[in-house]
Amino acid sequence: MKNILLILLSTTLLAACATKPAPRVYWGNYSDSLYELKKEPSANTILTHKQELEEIISKSEAWNILPPPGISAELGKLYLEAGEKERAVQMIKQEALNYPESQTLVALLLRNMEEQNK
Amino acid sequence: MRTKKITTTKTITRLKTLLVLVATVSILSGCATRTQYLTKQEAFPAMYDQKPLSILVVPAINDSTAADAGDIYASTIAPYLSYGGYYVLPIEITTAMLRADGIQDGHQLLDVPAEKLGAMFGADAVLFVNITEWDTNYRVFGGNVTVAIGFDLKSTKTGESLWSYKVRQVTNTSGDSNNGGLLGAIIVTAIKTATQDYMPIAKQVNSIAVSTLPLGSYHPFHNKDQLFKNVHPDLFGAAAKQ
């Protein structure tokens, strides 16, 4: 009886240890933090959404999956609006590296940014 | 011995009656109009011909009474399209660029050809949606929230509609009548309906709609779902645009 209990216990523990399989794509609480930001744009809601996007990207990296479509570029936009130009350009370029489908848009964005700098 | 035989005959007769009844019920239920769902291939052949990879989501046409329905839609649609295997252009960015060009609202895009939008942003398809209902209904006994959205995905190569679907979702918001009697129930319903969180309802509507969309290239079952039969005959094509 004791043996059975031990086996059961260790199986449960092992099952808990097994790493969860990576999701195909991870969006976290994207929709909720974005909606809060759209409903009431404030320093607070912007920061929450920015942190959500950063977390989505870091978790995706940890799982070795691509960050969701558009997320890197959207984070780049928030960096740009906060005046962090270098980080912004890097993030926007990352979008095109992850998803070649975004190349036209990314090129357009970078061109717009250059024109605004002139 | 004799009595036993009679009982057996009776049992057989009863069994026969039962069988007839069962058969009748089955036949009758077979007659009841059962929805003939279409396969994705039957409903959306152009989708499998063109195989769009990227989708541009443009601002919704909001014909409902809720002012923020468009924002809720724009915040929730991208994840569902990506679960369906598509690359979705960053909505926050494309919407801001359209706004810079003077386009605030989906109505303004009605005359803009999908081809033009596609060339501007480099998208294979454009998703137009029409929010027709987004209402909270109060009743004495319980209320409900109704959300109806028509989806229309257009090709930027040919301008034709590749996929379209209409979803109408009614969510009950009745309070629990066991708590505080009738008056309590009415108050609970009013509060629940007023503060009804639209986000889960919008997510549900997106999820139902996208389940009929042929899977995109980022999905492992891309180009393998042609025979998947879940397209309601009354909800796609022209019906989605009403």
Please name the fold of domain A27-117.
Answer: 1.25.40
pLDDT at A51 over 50: yes
Query: Based on the structure, what is the number of domains in chain B?
Result: 2
Q: Which two tokens stand for residue B150?
A: 């028509």
Clarify whether residues B194 and B154 are in a common domain: yes
Three-state secondary structure readout of B120-158: HHCCCEEEEEEEEEEEEECCCCCCEEEEEEEEEEEECCC
Q: Which two tokens stand for residue A57?
A: 């990207």
Q: Do B92 and A77 touch (CB under 8 A)?
A: yes
Give the mean model confidence (pLDDT) for residues A43-64: 97
CA B152 vs CA A14, B57, B124, B145, B163: distances in Å: 48, 10, 14, 23, 6
pLDDT tens column, A80-95: 999 999 999 999 999 9
Give ∠ CA A56-B147-B75 in degrees, rounded to 5: 20
Clarify whether residues B22 and B103 are in a common domain: no
pLDDT tens column, B7-24: 566 666 676 776 666 666
Q: Which of residues 41-80 of A touch B (CB under 8 A)?
A: 68-71, 73-74, 77
CA-nearest residue to A25 within chain B is B83
What pLDDT score was predicted for residue B238? 79
Distance CA A102, CA B30 (A): 50
> Hey, where are the domains in chain A?
27-117
Show the low-confidence residues of chain B (pLDDT under 50): 1, 177
Give the mean model confidence (pLDDT) for residues A38-48: 96
The range of the structural domain enclosing residue B162 comes to 37-241
Contacts of B124 in chain A (CB under 8 A): 101
CA-nearest residue to A23 within chain B is B83
What pLDDT score was predicted for residue B62? 95
Q: Does A28 touch chain B (CB under 8 A)?
A: no
Contact A88, A80 (CB under 8 A): yes
Clarify whether residues B12 and B131 are in a common domain: no
Give ∠ CA B50-B54-B57 in degrees, rounded to 5: 115
Cβ partners under 8 Å of residue B209, min gap 6? B80, B149, B151, B165, B167
Using the Cα atoms of residue B227, residue B212, residue B121 and residue A56 in order, give the sign of their dihedral.
negative
What pLDDT score was predicted for residue B9? 64
CATH of the domain at B125: 3.40.50.10610
Q: Which two tokens stand for residue B138?
A: 């109060």
Clarify whether residues B56 and B157 are in a common domain: yes
Clarify whether residues B105 and B65 are in a common domain: yes
CA B99 vs CA B27, B58, B207, B223: distances in Å: 59, 11, 27, 35
Clarify whether residues B166 and B232 are in a common domain: yes
CA A16 vs CA B141, B159, B161: distances in Å: 46, 51, 48
Find tokens 């009743």 and name the residue. Answer: B139
Q: Does A111 touch chain B (CB under 8 A)?
A: no
Clarify whether residues B235 and B154 are in a common domain: yes
Distance CA B69, CA B16 (A): 59
Clarify whether residues B16 and B53 are in a common domain: no
